[in-house]
A and B are shown apart, each in its own frame.
Chain A
Amino acid sequence: MIPAAFEYYRPKDMAGVLSILEEHGDDARVMAGGHSLIPMMKLRMADVPHLIDLQDVGGMSDVSIGSDSIRIGALVTQHDIIDNDALAAAAPILREAALQIADPQVRYMGTVGGNVANGDPGNDMPGLMQCLGATFTVVGADGERDIPARDFYEAAYMTAREDDEVLTAVTIPMPHGGYAYEKQKRKIGDYATAAAAAQIVKGGTTCASASIAMTNLSDTPVFSEAAGAALVGTSVDDAAIKAAIAAMLGDIDPTEDNRGPVAFKKHVAGVILRRAIERAWSRA
């Protein structure tokens, strides 16, 4: 658990970050909380000759709640999410999900930006952001661009962000309706065996819209448009939930690991999604 030698940078502004990225290309990585990258470096599984710490770059630690959207800076920590009452009122699913990430010590350091940018299929925020239809803002030498969360993830640790770009903010359209983040894990600190994010809007007695995403059940988070569609127009009864689960199962592609074999994961994914839908519907 001893990393190879690396150069450590702590630039004061984004221009400084981008110039180091431009100079070193693949050999440079930015770090926010460091809770994914540093263990990989200590295991010598990540080779990062030039490590750029974002902590001194201003302007990425704020949460701003507008009338139709919420903007979360990349350096906002999981703890900040939990601790922010206004945010919890506007988008309660964020607090519910953040409370299920790791443990308090990790949440003090781990950031929203790092969680979504790293591309680890085990992370909870990517699926959540897909459920919420969030947009990620990245900045590079050619300026800013926005990438929808649902288009961001290509494969494990592979995303639409270029190596010389930095993810600076997450913007979420103001969520409406009932919500739930349901996660099964083996213990505190573990990644999900299966997790589901659900956001459901009720119109009269039926479901007006539904958004569903799953975590750690493929090499990327899975936004299951079909699962959401299966609920729309229904009274979210047993048949509708079964249809949503069936649709979701068609979208995920879990692999066997120490958490269990594929059949188990698929079964649990169905159970977890059912619970998420039922809870979200009860709150809608």
Chain B
Amino acid sequence: MKDDVTSREERIENLKGMGCSRKRVEDARFTQGKGNYVDDVKLDGMLFGDFVRSPYAHARIKNIETAAALEVPGVLAVLTAADLEPLGLHWMPTLAGDKQMVLADGKVLFQGQEVAFVVAEDRYAAADGIEAVEVEYEELEVLVDPFKALASDVVLREDTVDETGKPTDGAHGPRKHPNHIFTWEAGDKGPTFEVIDAAEVVAEETMYYHRTHPCPLETCGCVASMDKVNGKLTLWGTFQAPHAIRTIVSLISGLEEHNIRVISPDIGGGFGNKVGAYPGYVCSVVASIVTGKPVKWIEDRMDNLMTTAFARDYWMKGRISATKEGKITGLHCHVTADHGGFDACADPTKFPAGFMNICTGSYDIPTAFLEVDGVYTNKAPGGVSYRCSFRVTEAVYFIERMIEVLAIKLNMDAAELRRINFIRKEQFPYTAALGWEYDSGDYHTAWDKALKTVDYDGLRAEQAQRVEDFKAGKTRKLMGIGLSFFTEIVGAGPVKNCDILGLGMFDSCEIRIHPTGSAIARLGTISQGQGHATTFAQILASEIGLPADSITIEEGDTDTAPYGLGTYGSRSTPVAGAATAMAGRKIRAKAQMIAAYLLEVHDDDVEFDVDRFVVKGAPERFKTMKEIAFASYNQAIPGIEPGLEAVSYYDPPNMTYPFGAYVCVMDIDVDTGVTDIRRFYALDDCGTRINPMVIEGQVHGGLTEALAVALGQEIAYDDMGNVKTGTLMDFFLPTAWEVPNYETDFTVTPSPHHPIGAKGVGESPHVGGVPCFSNAVQDAFRAFGNTHTNMPHDHWRIWKTANELGLHG
């Protein structure tokens, strides 16, 4: 037997378990064009649906004429709100406790809003049908500015006021104004204000974190197929949370949940855009029920950018106080959050501003106060977490800018200011002023390593010389050094405080070991490119001693996968990864009993060793997991059921808190606003590292999306509420050409409460990257009096900064 001659090291290597840069098993099909995405689903007799969309941002609908559209060859039906109303489906609940029109019910609130759903035999007929639908609009005053919306007499949503015109209560408490959605507070207002008012030094800044969009390469879409014979609905779609979609479909349609099967096939990126429920899903289901045929709906790029969930759009006003020596004493943050026409954020229900209260960052800030006001405007709904845990990008950007602004006020080096305020290693677990308990961290070690690697002092000296040269007319390029140190909060989450519409945010894994020693594991999550089939198999390989190559990972089919809340907010590894480890340990516990029986010793006399159980003190006596698997099915063992299966539903005791230290070196052409990233160094601490290569890929991807957001990517509106950035010509998606080389590095501070100590990494680089790129731009102008300019730092805005600082002579 091969095992007898294989060394322990070789046996570990053969498993390709945790710590191994195992090649991604998904890539064989993706690189050959053999992926199976929702638009690849083709069913007999399948119809296509598409939307008539509003050209106006705010208008009353006086009439919808569908007769001409129904005359278009191939058009079978045109659904309007009037058709959905008898079913109670003309509005649908949002994940944020609000409700959203499925089809325009009397008025439209944003450009691109869904007005009617044309069902046709093919996409061409549907598009012709859309052209033939005549909608009569009466334009209304448009509100695109949340501050103006809060001061306006124009009531955007008629359901926000009572008969007397008084604002009604919203899902999160009383409204201050008809266009006001909620106020959410964290921390202590009085003590914080007292500290700030009495402080030696206070820095204040207002910053706008602009509206942008996750823009996955694959847009949103679905295929709904109602089988009228057996009463079962199958729904394929680009769902980041297939089980949650099943439950929501059941709740709003009245179909029993066992009659609904939701399937997320391969997904081409989600980044938060595919968490929520969209009108296209509801209309496809209704159309399939009405016609008895499968109905497909797929967004085009403009639909995706203009209507499905955006991200950010936070106006953040901050005050930070410190001693003269730079010790931070207090922090106050007020956010005006623009949610668009409906509040369709995808946050845990008790957190209408997500985890914005992580905005004290990586610093030991004794007192803090956060208040967030949500506002309706005439923009698309959303507010999802684009490659970040809930609103964590906004929080980290806020604090990492406030630190820089404070450093300017103190005339201090921003790296040093961070160092003297970091939470110290011995303070963990650390309870922050806004309530979170940080699980583990070693910030000083990471920071020192980062600064040493990039030769921080050398960079500052070079920068000072550059400023001199610039002033002497020897160069027209400035040099910026961007710093950021971030702490994320991911892995939602403990069911005690995290649910979405009442669905607890646990996750799950179910393992079935086959008799010949291979396995299948199914999870409640769904990969959108993260490589779950690769990495979860590695966790299991280490836990159960079967090679990762012999373990199939399956996700996304609610008929087969155990219930879970899906993949977003870096929750897969912290929650489903933990469930996987725990289920693996149940397998191992049973395997131990079987091994003991086969080896004719007591259970306690065998111990696990890589891929086998050995008799303690007699390593030559062992049973491999492969042998145990076969015996579990085929040998009658007294007192033990046949088979080797386990399931675990894991409710994490706490979030995990990955962190990292990033440095960006950038040259800026003052005359054209063109930026050139000379160097980008990213140190990530995501706790235990499952697959270093996959981590590196995640870091590259997240940094690239961070570069996009910081340097140009936005959803911009004009005063009439027209989207100015509805195509990829104007919406910035970086290509290889715009992306620098990234240097990645790491430290390892395991999570003390996670079964394998892993924290999650997919979103860290985005969270830490955005402020790092932005800080580099801002730092380049610090010597000339700049304190803050808003993103995105595209050419003309950088030029404007230089111009306003008088650098164009």
Residues of chain A having any CB pair with chain B under 8 Å: 1-2, 4-5, 44, 103, 184, 186-191, 193, 258-261, 263-264, 267-268, 271-272
Main secondary structure of the interface of A (DSSP, over half): loop
Q: Give the nearest-CB partner of A272 in chain B.
A: B672
The residues of A that contact B737 with a CB separation of less than 8 Å are 187-188
Complex CA distance for A35 and B629, rounded to whole angstroms: 59
Q: Contact string, B786-803, partner A, CB cutoff 8 A, digits 1/0?
A: 000000001110011001
B353 on the A face (CB < 8 A): no
| Complex-state Cα separation, A193 to B796, whole angstroms | 10
Are A187's CB and B734's CB within 8 A? yes
A235 and B606 CA atoms in complex are apart in Å by 91
In whole angstroms, what is the CA distance A260 to B803 when docked?
13
When the two chains form their complex, are residues A264 and B127 in contact, meaning their CB atoms are under 8 A apart?
no
Report Cα–Cα, A187/B794, bound state, in Å. Answer: 10
Looking at A1, A4, A44, the one whose CB has the most chain B CB atoms below 10 A away is A1
- Is B486 located at the chain interface by the 8 A CB criterion? no
Q: Which residues of B, 721-760, contact A by the 8 Å Cβ criterion?
A: 724-725, 729-730, 732, 734-735, 737-738
For the complex, is B123 an interface residue (Cβ under 8 Å from A)? Answer: yes
Question: Are the CB atoms of B725 and A193 closer together than 8 Å?
Answer: no
Chain B residue with minimal CB distance to A1?
B300
Name the A residues within 8 Å of B735 (CB-CB).
103, 187-189
B672 touches A268 (CB 8 A): yes
Tell me whether A258 and B724 are in contact (CB under 8 A): yes
B796's contact among A44, A103, A264, by CB below 8 Å, is which? Answer: A264
- Which of chain A's residues has its CB closest to B130's CB? A2
19 more contacts with CB within 8 A, not counting A5-B124, A264-B796, are A1-B300, A4-B128, A5-B128, A103-B735, A184-B674, A184-B795, A186-B712, A186-B732, A186-B795, A187-B712, A187-B735, A191-B729, A193-B795, A193-B796, A258-B724, A264-B795, A267-B799, A267-B803, A268-B799
Which of B671, B674, B724 interacts with A267 by CB under 8 Å? B671
B808 is an interface residue with CB less than 8 A from chain A:
yes
Q: Is the CB of A267 within 8 A of B729?
A: no
Q: Which of B266-300 contact A (CB under 8 A)?
A: 300
Contact A271-B738, Cβ < 8 Å, known A4-B128, A186-B732: no
A190 to B734, CA, bound (A): 12
Contact residue among A4, A259, A261 (Cβ-Cβ distance under 8 Å from B131): A4
Q: Cβ of B123 and Cβ of A258 under 8 Å apart?
A: no
Which residues of A are found within 8 Å of B674, using beta-carbon distances? 184
**A264 adjacent to B671 (CB under 8 Å):** no
Interfacial chain B residues near A193, Cβ < 8 Å: 795-796
Task: Report the separation of the CA atoms of residues A69 and B558 in the bound assembly, to the nearest whole angstrom.
Answer: 69
Contacts of A44 in B (CB 8 A): 127, 131
Kindly list chain A residues whose C-beta atoms are within 8 Å of the C-beta of B729: 189-191
Are B302 and A260 in touch, CB under 8 angstroms?
no
- Does B301 interact with chain A (Cβ within 8 Å)? yes
Q: Does B599 contact A (CB under 8 A)?
A: no
Chain A residues with CB under 8 Å of B716's CB are 258
Contact at B301–A259, with CB atoms within 8 Å? Answer: no
Residues of A within 8 A of B302 (CB): 1
Contacts of A268 in B (CB 8 A): 671-673, 795, 799
* Contact partners of A264 in chain B: CB under 8 A: 673, 795-796, 799-800
Q: Contacts A187-B734, A188-B738, A267-B808: A259 and B124 contacting too (C-beta < 8 A)?
A: no
Chain A nearest CB from B72 CB (Å) reads: 11
Interchain CA distance A209-B735 in the complex, whole Å: 40
> Contact between A1 and B131 (Cβ–Cβ < 8 Å)?
no
Minimal Cβ-Cβ distance residue in A for B670? A271
Residues of B within 8 A of A260 (CB): 794-796, 799
In-complex Cβ contact of B730 among A1, A258, A261 (8 A): A258
Q: Are B794 and A186 in contact (CB under 8 A)?
A: yes
CA of A1 to CA of B305 in the docked complex: distance in angstroms? Answer: 14
Considering the chains assembled together, what is the distance between the CA atoms of A187 and B732 in angstroms? Answer: 8
Q: Mark B468-479, 1 if CB is under 8 A from A, else 0.
A: 000000000000
Contacts of A263 in B (CB 8 A): 803
Which residues of A have CB within 8 Å of B796?
Answer: 193, 259-261, 264
Across the interface, name the chain B residue whose C-beta is closest to A263: B803
Residues of A within 8 Å of B808, CB to CB, are 267
Q: Which A residues lie within 8 Å of B672 (CB)?
A: 184, 268, 271-272
| A-B complex: 8 closest residue pairs judged by Cβ atoms | A260-B796, A2-B127, A264-B796, A1-B300, A188-B737, A271-B671, A258-B730, A188-B735
In the assembled complex, how far is the CB of residue A195 from the closest CB belonging to chain B, in whole angstroms? 12
A267: which B residues are within 8 A, CB to CB? 671, 799, 803, 808
**A2 — nearest CB in chain B belongs to which residue?**
B127
B671 and A259 contacting across the interface, CB-CB below 8 Å: no
